[in-house]
Amino acid sequence: MSFRPDLFASQMIMGNLQQDLSHDPPCHPRACAIQDCLTKNGYQEEKCQAQVDALYECCNAFYQQQGDKATTMSCPKASLLRLKMKQRAEAAEKHK
């Protein structure tokens, strides 16, 4: 895995993964970071991709720990999360 300054910066702002997983509800700080980013950037989603990646990282870890039937208001359902992560990975490959 390569170093990504944008993701590193967003993780520093939001806290580490274990802290965000143990938050009530899980991953909520990362979901809030997306909303904050969108507000600051005039709702231009392309400027908040690092925050979206960070949320998906947290949600993926949440489902790995709790199982696919677990729920948290901060994360999409496990199947949708995996689809979104796959789509983002494919899009990133196209832009290389």
- Average pLDDT score over residue span 83-96: 91
For residue 10, pLDDT over 50 is answered with no
**15 φψ region: left (φ > 0), alpha (ψ -120 to 50), beta (else):** left
The per-residue pLDDT for range 16-75, each reduced to its tens digit, is 999 999 999 999 999 999 999 999 999 999 999 999 999 999 999 999 999 999 999 999
Centroid of chain to Cα 36? 14
Give the global pTM: 0.82
Least confident of 3-7, 47-51, 90-94: 3-7
